[in-house]
Amino acid sequence: MRFNPTAFISAASLVSATHARSGHGDLTVKTKLGLIHGTVDSATPAVRQFLGIPYALPPVNHLRFAPPQPAQPFGELDATEMSPSCMQYASSLPSIFTHEVLELNLGGLNGTTGPISEDCLTLSVWAPRCTTKRKLPVLIFFYGGAFMNGGSNVPYLLPAQWIQRTQSHIVVSFNHRGDIFGFPNAAGLPQQEQNIGLLDQRLAIEWVRDNIAAFGGDPERIGLWGESSGGVAIAYYSYAYRSDPVANSVIMDSGNEFIDILTRDPAHNNFTFVASHLGCGNLSPAAELACMRRVDAAAIESFIHSYSDAGTTPILTFSPVIDDRTVFETYPPFNPAPLPALIGSNAQDGVAFVPYSPTGIDAALAEEMTMTFFFCPTYASANTRVAAYNGTEPVYRYLYSGNFTNVAPKPWLGAYHGAELPLVMGTHGLYRGDSTELEVRTSEAMQDAWLNFVATGGRRMSVEGWDGDGKVVEFGNGVPARVVDSSELEGRCGEMLGG
């Protein structure tokens, strides 16, 4: 679902890798696992890129469907090209992401399927080239994709443009397993080892904690930032690791613990159904699991792809399950980690989740989806944290309302699900023509807000009047940013929030 990474990195990466060994010391860093040689892209010459660094052993053979194991020392590593994303498929069913905005897909631009592999547990680091003794704040980005697809190699989600502008922070993006490879829900696995995609995320965070200082980052100022299922994962994380969150703050874009995309299959029928069609039927749970570890990964994904796109029933789902370790039955089962929170959604989030037509969509249904599955859960998540923190940690809310033609090519798309990401990453003007002045200023306002939030642990925000007491800042609606009254929208949440 994305573009060819080698085309994006450019020929300059080969030169940069050579320079790393011949005196350009800022392109070589010494981590606990070995020396890492990075690169510089000619489009963002003030940004060091360290791409495709393994944070875990390849999850293949006996490690398929198993918790991740930490990467081992590697001596030296050329981190000059993006690595493949984890196993997934690009649905052939029509949607805005397959027909209108391919830049939010693996491969982007030229198609909807990018390089994928089981050997995918890698992360990438983007950092300024400027030399400073000051340790920089770090944002770890969790991509979305309903726990089924996505990866760190997405055109709109590459942060080099943002760092080129600010020169004052570091961004880390990482791959984690999804779909059946990340959430198998297999009878042969212990219940607390079913959500291995979430365990991948924790291991990536620990890698950043242990190694980011070598890149100039501050391990005491790590903010977790996720969109869609990435935001859901961070919400889960804030409860699962409440006594040791590593992070100093959390940012959740259009995703939180009240957006229910869990798999409820206590009999493990989904995994057994797939196994039965791949030569692993009528076996004990242990034998079934062992057999599925030997099946070709592409064959597994191909079967699920064909079955799902055909609209066959029963529907197969492979997403997080309740395990009382990483995911709980209800929220809050107890208070989340006491971390400053920045929580928001998009004005037209629901557009992506109603039947697609190139001429438009059912606007009323899209509005209902926006309120039911995004705005109201976001409001509930913010209120939950306000109550849990009891004034000890700030909670900031936002609403993204921008509608810019080089991000939303058709007016009815509006501020669709994920449309805020090109603004924060700074990629809005790279693929569909120049950005307007309002778009540029909105992008800068959002970048500054996200960065100030992490850099100060939520103690200082860049928008006047945004004081962390529940006020909502709207981005991109005629002005870059403004505090707005959201009480009318909140009143519509009604029964969902017990009002």
Cross-sheet strand order for the sheet of 28-30: 28-30, 34-37, 75-78
Give the gyration radius of the chain's Cα atoms: 22
Task: Provide the 3-class DSSP secondary structure of residue 66.
Answer: coil
Please name the residue ranges forming H helices in 248-357: 269-276, 285-292, 297-309
Structure tokens at 394: 């700030």
Query: Token pair 């642990």 is at which residue?
Result: 457
CA distance 177 to 155: 20
| Catalytic positions | 228
Structural contact between residues 57 and 69, judged by C-beta atoms closer than 8 angstroms? yes
Helical ranges in 139-228 per DSSP H: 160-166, 179-182, 196-211
Question: For residue 169, which of 453, 399, 429 has the smallest C-alpha distance?
Answer: 453
The 3-class SS string of 363-409 reads HHHHHHHHHHHHHHHHHHHHHHHHHHHCCCCCEEEEEECCCCCCCCC
Collect all residues with Cβ–Cβ distance below 8 Å to 457 and sequence separation of at least 6: 221, 248, 249, 340
